Amino acid sequence: MVHPIPRLRSRRPPARWPFVLASLATFLLTFSAAAGDFAEAAARGTAQAFLFALTAGFLTSLTPCVYPMIPITVSIFGARGAASRARAFLLATAYVAGIAVMFGTLGTTFALLGKAFGTFLANPWVVVPLALFFFAMAASMFGAFDLTLPAPLQERLSRVGGRGFVGAFLMGLVGGLIAAPCTGPPLAGILAHVTTTRDAAYGFLLLATYAAGIGVPFWAIAGFSMQLPKSGPWMNAVKSVFGIALVVAGLYYLRPIAPALARLGGRGYVFLIGTIVAVIAGLALGAVHLSFSAGAGKAVRKAVGLGLAVAGVFGFLTYLLTPAIPIEWLRSEPAAVAAARAQNKPLLVDFMATWCAPCLEMDVKVFGRADVGPTLTEFVLLRIDLSRENDDDSLAAIKAKYHVDTLPAIRITTPDGRVLAEINHEVSWQEFVATAATAHGR
C-alpha cells in the first residue's frame, strides 16, 4: 500500500545548494552510468556491477512502496520485541535472506534463459520493445502511472509468514512481490543485464546483492535500534533517480541498432565537462526534486531538467565506453589471411558480439588503451562479429575452424592457420600484452 505523501511548503535553498547539486550530480553520474555499465561490465561479476546492485537495492528501500512499511514489517516478524539485539539482527537477516533467495532465483533463471537470448539482443524486433519497456518503467518512476498489485493479492501475500526465523524468511520470500511497484523497474534493468552474462551463479549472487541493499534499513532498525527519517517528498526524488537511470539504460540497449546513438561520444575533456554541466543544470532545474503534478510551470522545468540530466548521464556513459584509440579491424576472414601472408605477420582474430558484456569491456580497457597500441601493430587484426550468428551460416564454419565456443575469444595464428595462442575469457591489458608477446616469439 502506497502511503500518501504530505505536501510541504517550498523553502529557499540554503547557500550551499551549488555544492549539494554538484555532489548529487556526481552520485547520479556514477549510479546512472552504472545502469549502462551493467550492460557492458564484465560478465564474471565486476566490483562496479555489485556496487550498483547494492546501491540500487538500498535506493529501492527508500521508495514509497517499501520505506513506510519497514517498521511495520520489522514488528510483524518479531524483531522489534526481541529479547536481545543479536536475536533482532538475526531475525532481520532471515527476512533479508528470504528476499535474497527469491531475487537470486530470478537471477539464475534469467541467466539460464540468456543462453538462448543473447543473440536476439542484436535484433531490432527484440531491442526496440526492450528499450520501450525501460522507457515505460521510467515513466512510472516519474509519476505517469502507478504499478500496483491487486489489493486482495497484496493482502494475501502480507499474511505469509509471521513471527520467528521461519516466518521472517517466508515474509522475505514474498516481500519483493508486495513492493513490486518500486522494485520492478530497477530489478528489470539488472535482469536484462543478467541475460547477457549467461552465468547462473553470477546472476544469483548479483540479485542477492540487490536484496542485501534492500535489507540495509531492516538491519538498521532491528539490529541497531536506529530511528529512520520520516517519510516525505524525498522518496519521490529517489524514484526520479531510478527513472533517469532507466532511460539511460534504454538508450544504451538501442546503441547497437541506432547509428546516431552509437556515434555519440568523445574522449576529450571538453566533452566530459559538458556532460557534467548538463547534469548539474538538469538537477538545478528540477529533474529530481520537482514533480509533474506540482503545476504546469514546474512540470515544464522538470521535463527540461530531465532532458538535460539524461543527455548528460548518457554522454558520460558514452565517454566511458569510447576507446582512447580507434582500431581499424578487418571484417573478412579471407582478406585478413591474405594480408597476414603478404605482410608476413601473425593474425589476431577477435570474436565478439554486441550483446557480449566482457567483449565490450575489453574494447575499452584492453584494445583501446594507448599502451596496447604498439602491440597491436605487430598483427593483422580481424574481428568476427557474432551478434547475429543465427542469420549467417558462414559464422558457424569460422567458429569451428578456430575452435570457438564461448565469448570473448581471441586467437593468434600464423598466416597458414597454426594456432599460437588462445584467450577464452576476459583478461587485463597486461595479460593480453604478455600473451601476444609470447605468441609473437618475443
The predicted pLDDT at position 382 comes to: 95
Q: End-to-end distance of the chain based on CA atoms, in angstroms?
A: 67
The predicted pLDDT at position 351 comes to: 93
Give a yes or no: residue 345 inside a domain: yes
Q: Looking at the 3D structure of the chain, how many domains does it have?
A: 2
Give a yes or no: residue 3 inside a domain: no
Residue 296 shares a structural domain with residue 355: no
* Exposure letters 134-152 (e unless 16+ CB within 10 A, then b): bbbbbebbbeeeeeeeeee
Distant-in-sequence, close-in-space partners of 54: CB < 8 Å, separation ≥ 6: 209, 210, 212, 213
Q: Which of 272, 227, 253, 243 is nearest to 184 (CA)?
A: 243
Helix (H, G, I), strand (E, B) or coil at 441: coil
- Residues 13-16: contacts with CB within 8 Å, 24+ apart? none
Q: Which of 285, 376, 255, 252 is nearest to 324 (CA)?
A: 376
Give a yes or no: residue 6 inside a domain: no
Burial class (CB in 10 A: 0-12, 13-18, 19+), 208: buried
Helix (H, G, I), strand (E, B) or coil at 348: strand
Which of 251, 286, 321 is the endpoint of a domain? 321
Q: Cis bond leading into 186, ω under 30°?
A: no
Please state, as a whole number, how many other Cβ atoms lie within 10 Å of the Cβ of residue 71: 15
Q: pLDDT 10s digit of each residue in the chain, 442 long? A: 444 444 444 444 444 444 444 445 544 544 544 444 454 444 334 677 788 788 888 877 777 667 766 776 666 665 555 556 777 788 888 888 888 888 888 888 877 776 555 555 556 777 788 788 778 877 877 877 655 545 554 455 445 545 567 777 877 777 666 565 556 556 766 776 777 666 788 888 888 998 888 888 888 877 666 566 666 676 677 778 878 877 887 887 787 777 777 677 676 788 888 888 998 898 888 888 888 888 888 889 999 999 999 988 888 878 877 777 778 899 999 999 999 999 999 999 999 887 776 787 788 889 988 889 899 999 999 999 887 776 777 888 898 899 888 788 999 999 888 999 999 887 888 999 999 999 876 5
Pairwise CA distance, residues 285 & 288, whole Å = 9
Instruction: List the domain range (segments joined by +) for residue 432.
Output: 333-440
Residue with C-alpha cell 522475505? Answer: 172
Give a yes or no: residue 2 inside a domain: no
How many helical (H) and strand (E) elements, i.e. helices and strands, does the chain have? 18, 4
The predicted pLDDT at position 378 comes to: 92
Task: Indicate the helix (H) or strand (E) that contains 429.
Answer: helix 429-440
Residue 286 shares a structural domain with residue 250: yes
Q: Is the CB of residue 153 less than 8 Å from the CB of residue 180?
A: no
Residue 314 shares a structural domain with residue 355: no
The predicted pLDDT at position 56 comes to: 80
Residue 67 shares a structural domain with residue 127: yes
Give a yes or no: residue 236 inside a domain: yes
Residue 288 shares a structural domain with residue 433: no
The predicted pLDDT at position 230 comes to: 64
DSSP letter (8 states) at residue 367: I
Q: Which of 75, 21, 84, 31 is nearest to 55 (CA)?
A: 31
Helix (H, G, I), strand (E, B) or coil at 362: helix
Helix (H, G, I), strand (E, B) or coil at 289: coil
Burial class (CB in 10 A: 0-12, 13-18, 19+), 216: middle
Amino acid at 49: A
Q: Which of 48, 23, 45 is nearest to 34 (CA)?
A: 48
Please state, as a whole number, how many other Cβ atoms lie within 10 Å of the Cβ of residue 374: 9
Residue 343 shares a structural domain with residue 215: no
Residue 218 shares a structural domain with residue 353: no
Residue 213 shares a structural domain with residue 241: yes
Residue 337 shares a structural domain with residue 405: yes
Which of 296, 321, 346 is the endpoint of a domain? 321
Give a yes or no: residue 8 inside a domain: no
Q: Which three cell numbers stand for residue 369?
A: 588503451
Distant-in-sequence, close-in-space partners of 193: CB < 8 Å, separation ≥ 6: 38, 39, 41, 49, 357
The predicted pLDDT at position 19 comes to: 43
**CATH, residue 395:** 3.40.30.10
Amino acid at 106: L
Amino acid at 285: L
Residue 315 shares a structural domain with residue 339: no
Which of 295, 321, 347 is the endpoint of a domain? 321
Q: Which three cell numbers stand for residue 403?
A: 575452435
Amino acid at 96: V
Give a yes or no: residue 311 inside a domain: yes
Residue 114 shares a structural domain with residue 145: yes
Q: Is the CB of residue 220 less than 8 Å from the CB of residue 7?
A: no
Residue 211 shares a structural domain with residue 340: no
Q: What is the pTM of this model?
A: 0.59
Helix (H, G, I), strand (E, B) or coil at 352: strand
